Each structure stands twice: as structure tokens, then as C-alpha cells.
């Protein structure tokens, strides 16, 4: 039977690190799923046994249905899900109010003193500008990747995988997949963004060129 390869895409990682690699901000770009699949397919013949790309597992975070941006985001995810060769897997977004931790409070106080401003006044003004803002955290995505890596590798669904992520929390899942005989290649826009434990485990690390990143992350249009 012909050997196959699958892609595993942490969309949040690709968006953040890819944008940084080409001098853009994550909110300035959108992800082009077809371009990602095309690049993965172009890399498959370079892997051992001239492998075919079986499919790409795409991981991202989703707003709760009650969120004001849910419908807009859902349309985007529907486009991803209908892209040939992609299986969409969604975690969720946790929103927490932005607060000042102790180190930031101390930094504001020191800045106030150096500017000869009353520290409490500056701190209260700083907090006023943060009021109503939230910190968005990705939840459940790493868990989905871990479960899929281990489950699919244990069934010998593919002989190689290309993982676009740099998270150290995936290291043990990668090790387990390798124990099942799967070759794991990490692909990244920036090798410095890959945790050392993950980089050490990877059977290979490949760079995603800047021109490819720009095709994967085109600039947002006003209607996006």
C-alpha cells in the first residue's frame, strides 16, 4: 500500500508566527486554507517513499454561539471546512478581563516616579484605558491535537505527519506517535518559535518560506 502523510495545522500558531515572519500583525491577515493544503501537498513527494497527502487536520478556536462575532467567524470556518482535503477541528475562546498583574503595577509606578507623576494617579488612568478590554485565550485546541496525533498514529492511518506548531505541550504526543512508527516533521515560519523539547523530538524540521507564508496569509480585505 502506498505510504501517506497527513498535515496537522495549529491555525493560531500559523497566523501569529507567520504574520510576524513577514512583518505583519495577526489581525492584518487571514488564513487561506487552500494555499496551506497546496504547500503541504507539494512537500509530500519530498518525504520518504514519495508519499501522498492523505488529508489535513485544521485546528482553531471558536467563539461561543452567544458571542457577537460568532456568525462572522462561523462563515469563515464553513469556508475552511469545505476546502478539499481539510478536516476542521475546533476548540473554543475563553475571554477574561484584562487586569494589571503585580509586575505591571510596579512598572507603572516606577514610570510615574521617573516622570515625577503621582503614581496612584497614573495607575488609575492606566486602568481606566484597560476597562472593558478582554484577554482571549485559546482553549481545547492542544487537547484536540494531542488526541488526534495519538489516536490516528496508533491506527497506522499514515506513515508521516507534517505538524505546523511549536507548542511544547505536544511533545509527549509526538513521542507517542513516533513509538507507533510515525515519522514526525515540524514545519514552521520561524524555528525560534518551536519549543526546544518539540524541536529535539522532531524527525525533521522544515522552514516555510516567506513567499509561501504570504500566500497562506493574504492581507485582509475590508469585507473579511
Phi, psi of 180 (to 5 degrees): -85, 0
Classify residue 26 as exposed, middle or buried by CB count within 10 Å of its CB (0-12, 13-18, 19+): middle
Residue 50's CB is within 10 A of a number of other CB atoms, namely 10
CA distance 188 to 218: 17
Give the per-residue pLDDT at 110.
74
Give the per-residue pLDDT at 92.
75
Give the per-residue pLDDT at 222.
73
CA distances from 18 to 115, 118, 165 (A): 38, 42, 11
pLDDT in tens, the chain (224 residues): 557 899 999 999 999 999 999 999 999 999 999 999 999 999 876 676 667 899 999 999 898 888 888 899 999 999 999 999 999 999 976 555 545 566 667 776 777 677 667 777 666 766 665 555 455 555 678 999 999 999 999 999 899 999 999 999 999 999 999 999 999 999 999 999 999 999 999 999 999 999 999 999 999 987 66
Classify the phi-psi angles of 37: left when phi > 0, otherwise alpha if psi is within -120 to 50, otherwise beta. alpha
Q: Specify the pTM.
A: 0.79
Residue 209, SS3? coil
Q: List pLDDT tens digits, range 93-108.
A: 655 554 556 666 777 6
Amino acid at each position: 500500500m502506498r505510504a501517506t502523510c497527513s498535515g496537522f495545522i495549529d491555525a493560531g500558531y500559523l497566523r501569529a508566527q507567520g504574520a510576524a515572519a513577514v512583518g505583519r500583525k495577526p489581525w492584518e491577515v487571514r488564513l487561506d486554507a487552500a494555499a496551506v493544503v497546496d504547500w503541504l501537498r507539494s512537500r509530500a513527494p519530498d518525504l520518504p517513499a514519495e508519499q501522498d497527502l492523505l488529508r489535513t487536520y485544521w485546528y482553531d478556536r471558536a467563539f461561543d454561539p452567544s458571542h457577537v462575532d460568532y456568525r462572522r467567524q462561523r462563515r469563515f470556518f464553513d469556508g475552511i471546512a469545505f476546502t478539499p482535503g481539510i478536516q476542521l477541528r475546533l476548540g473554543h475562546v475563553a475571554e477574561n478581563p484584562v487586569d494589571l498583574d503585580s509586575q505591571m503595577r510596579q512598572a507603572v509606578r516606577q514610570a510615574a516616579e521617573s516622570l515625577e507623576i503621582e503614581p496612584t494617579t497614573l495607575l488609575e488612568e492606566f486602568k481606566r484605558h484597560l476597562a472593558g478590554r478582554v484577554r482571549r485565550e485559546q482553549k481545547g485546541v492542544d487537547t484536540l491535537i494531542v488526541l488526534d496525533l495519538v489516536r490516528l498514529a496508533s491506527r497506522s492511518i499514515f506513515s508521516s505527519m507534517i505538524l505546523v506548531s511549536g507548542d511544547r505541550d505536544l511533545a509527549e504526543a509526538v513521542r507517542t506517535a513516533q513509538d507507533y512508527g510515525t515519522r514526525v516533521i515540524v514545519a514552521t515560519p520561524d524555528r525560534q518559535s518551536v519549543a526546544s523539547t518539540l524541536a529535539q523530538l522532531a524527525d525533521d524540521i522544515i522552514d516555510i518560506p516567506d513567499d509561501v507564508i504570504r500566500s497562506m496569509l493574504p492581507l485582509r480585505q475590508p469585507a473579511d
